[in-house]
Amino acid sequence: MISTKNTEARDTLFEPLTIGAVQLKHRIVMAPLTRMRASRPGNVPNALNALYYTQRATEGGLIIAEASQVAPEGQGMPATPGIHTDEQRDGWKLVTDGVHAKGGRIFLQLWHVGRISHSSHQPGGLAPVAPSAIAAEGNAFTTDFTPAPFEVPRALSLDEIEQIKQAYVAAGRRAMEAGFDGVEIHSANGYLLEQFMISRSNVRTDRYGGSLANRMRLPLEVAEMLAIDLGSDRVGIRLSPFGIANDSGETDPLTLYREIIKELNKLKLAYLHLVEPRASGAGQRDVNHQNVPSGCQTFRPYWDQILITAGNFSADSAAETVAKGDADAIAFGRYFISNPDLPRRIQRGDPFTPYDRPTFYGGGTQGYTDYHAFGI
């Protein structure tokens, strides 16, 4: 169990914060967490999902809901929710209604996994899509939750890239129709938008490959289009500088992420959400990479808006990071799973309930909605 007794530092996390168009009463954010419990067929959010999020909502607190595919081709894991059909939109409305009823705020993370998929998820059983026909190392989750090696993907055409951009905009509109307060663009952890950014997964020779400016083009275009369509104060973006998840990683990550953050900064988005390098790959196993840089310290000078950071924070280190100004808010993931009342526990210095990793992905209520508030 983890707790904090440093009351003075802890109070820093409970100062009000404005993120874009959203007013918050504290700076503890629930990170987006894939849980694979959407209803199938259709990958539709359901009443159980609504209960899970409502349990973790706090008055004036922000939840970033789990990554949701913007198109059928964007799916890479079984029972992950989408936001590309009206049925999915209506399912998400159950979630947003529950969170708002408790005074919480909620954004939806928009997702396309690219090559981190398997043909069993793809319409017609086709190969997954990617910037280039280069397979990732490692295993995919097939539709029946069994592992299988990543397949060689099919390189996207320019027309298909345009369709994907439009899919992000359509998904953003559906998210707002579903009652979300905003959206977060998933451009981290080795998924499609980051695949375009990384030279080892992008060997294109057209306007989306080659130079640094070309490799950054797609995530920047998606961010600009969503900012124009929804309003920049309703759009955030997630990046994983120095990350190694899902066979990602760049030879010169400092230059890549410095430049894309400087370009994103011009869009005046609601926030930038960083995954700390020490937590790269945490979804697959417990990690705490050593001798790695601090993402928020490294890139804070290039970002003028709200900065959220996530990755293996304790209550004390979270408070210290905000107090120093390295970040404005801290996102917690795994401990939000097992502590639905996490902000209150941090505020009071109560211990954290340990999480149960085998129940993270798939299943029913166990390890999902059966965790209790402290003292219950």
* Domain spans in the chain, listed from the N-terminal domain onward: 17-309
- Residue 191 falls in the annotated catalytic set: yes
Largest CA distance in the chain: 59
Q: Which one of 52, 191, 208, 335 is the catalytic residue?
A: 191
Please give the helix or strand (H or E) that residue 264 lies within, else none. Answer: helix 253-265
**pLDDT at 286 > cutoff 90:** no
Give residue 293's pLDDT band: very low, low, confident or very high (50, 70, 90).
Answer: confident
pTM: 0.96
pLDDT tens figures, 16-72: 999 999 999 999 999 999 999 999 999 999 999 999 999 999 999 999 999 999 999
Q: Which of 269, 278, 88 is nearest to 184 (CA)?
A: 269
CATH number assigned to the domain covering 17-309: 3.20.20.70
Over residues 138-151, the mean pLDDT reads 97
Which residue stretches of the chain are H helix?
7-11, 47-55, 86-101, 158-177, 192-197, 212-230, 253-265, 295-299, 315-324, 334-338, 342-348
Which of the 8 DSSP states describes residue 247? Answer: G
